[in-house]
Amino acid sequence: MNHAATRLLVPEPAEIVEKRSFGPHIHSYRLRLRDPTARERFDFVPGQFNMVYVPGVGEVAISISSDPWENDLEHTIRIVGRTTEVIDRLEVGDVLGLRGPYGNGWPLHPTRWKDVLVITGGLGCAPVTGAVNYMVRRRASYGRITVLHGVKRAEDLTHQERFEAWRRQPDVRVLLASDRPERHWRDHVGVVTELFEEIEVDPERTVVFMCGPEVMLRHGLRFAHQQGIPGARVFLSLERNMKCAVGLCGRCQLGPLFLCKDGPIFCSTDLAPFFGVHGV
């Protein structure tokens, strides 16, 4: 058997070394690949995803929210379906399978020296977390960084300490919004798109990274357009049903694009005329 040919088809065992819960339906797992050589081979960039396998149950496509230079891999998972309901019950010491990484990543190199506007909603922040960390660690290589993040409920805000840490960095603005805040919520009450009114962008030097519900992405696209940011500098991470992650099962198509192998991150100009058409 040719190892290279099957490597991306076979889940590698990974042990849960940490579990953090954010409210009753969202957990963040840190996973350690059992085989040290598998970790060495596992080279990823922020924005890529894994197929996370629950033994005997099934696989789900989940973005990697940890930083590439950390040993452990982090996946933040919302409990919403048959497979994730089993993930819900897993604890430290339990073993999952990982195959990946799949897909492309955020264009972090070509966006150096630019202002970066990040717009995320719900768990849509997970695929961008690694990208923001990457930029913050290379603070001098990027211009102004603005992070707009919206959640439905305050309890959906995961890893709040990351947003706080980014906030403390020079020339980084972090604006949070919650639809249904609790008493301790100190940020905006409402939807993330309302935060557009509170920021200033320089269309000449701004790049936009977005991830979240499609309705939020459509608003974000309109905002970028209104601000005069060229579509070629607006990037979106998209989501679809996926089974194989290697461009064969056919489920993740958007027009000619396979989200798994052509994306999941796309330049907005590559999505016409399909993105936003109902039922495509």
Partner 1 sequence: MPEEATARWLQREDLPRLLDGLRERGYRVLGPVLRDGALVLDEVRSVSDLPAGWRDVQQPAHYRLEQSGGARLFDVVNGPTSPKSLVFAPREPLLQIAFGDGELDARPTIPEPQRIAVLGVRACDLAALAMQDRIFLEDRYPDPYYAARRSGLLLIGVSCTRSVSTCFCTSMGTGPEVTAGHDLALTELEDGFVVRAGTPAGQEILQELPTAAVDPRAFAEERRALEECARGIERRLEPQDPRELLYANLEHPRWDDVAERCLSCGNCTMVCPTCFCHDQRDEPSLDGRHSLRVREWDSCFNRDHGQIRGYNFRPGIRDRYRQWLVHKLASWIDQFGSSGCVGCGRCITWCPVGIDLTEELAAIRGGPDSGGGA
DSSP 55: T
CA distance 32 to 27: 16
CA distance 149 to 193: 9
Residue (189 or 277) nearer to partner 1, CB: 277
For residue 156, give the nearest of 130, 177, 175, 129 by alpha carbon: 177
The verdict on 253 binding partner 1 (CB under 8 A) reads: yes
The verdict on 67 binding partner 1 (CB under 8 A) reads: no
Rg (CA), the chain: 18
Least distance between partner 1 and beta carbon 157 (Å): 20
Least distance between partner 1 and beta carbon 84 (Å): 9
CA distance 232 to 247: 25
| The binder of partner 1 chosen from 113, 202, 255, 269 (CB under 8 A) | 255
The verdict on 113 binding partner 1 (CB under 8 A) reads: no
Given a contact cutoff of 8 angstroms between Cβ atoms, the answer to whether 224 and 199 are in contact is no
The verdict on 24 binding partner 1 (CB under 8 A) reads: no
Least distance between partner 1 and beta carbon 183 (Å): 29
CA distance 237 to 127: 8
The verdict on 57 binding partner 1 (CB under 8 A) reads: yes
Instruction: Count the site residues for partner 1 by CB under 8 A.
Output: 45
The verdict on 267 binding partner 1 (CB under 8 A) reads: no
Can you read off the two tokens belonging to residue 51? 């197929």
What is the contact surface with partner 1 in residues (CB under 8 A)? Answer: 1-2, 5-6, 8-11, 13, 15, 53, 55-59, 80-81, 93-97, 239-241, 243-244, 246-251, 253, 255-256, 258, 261, 273-274, 277-280
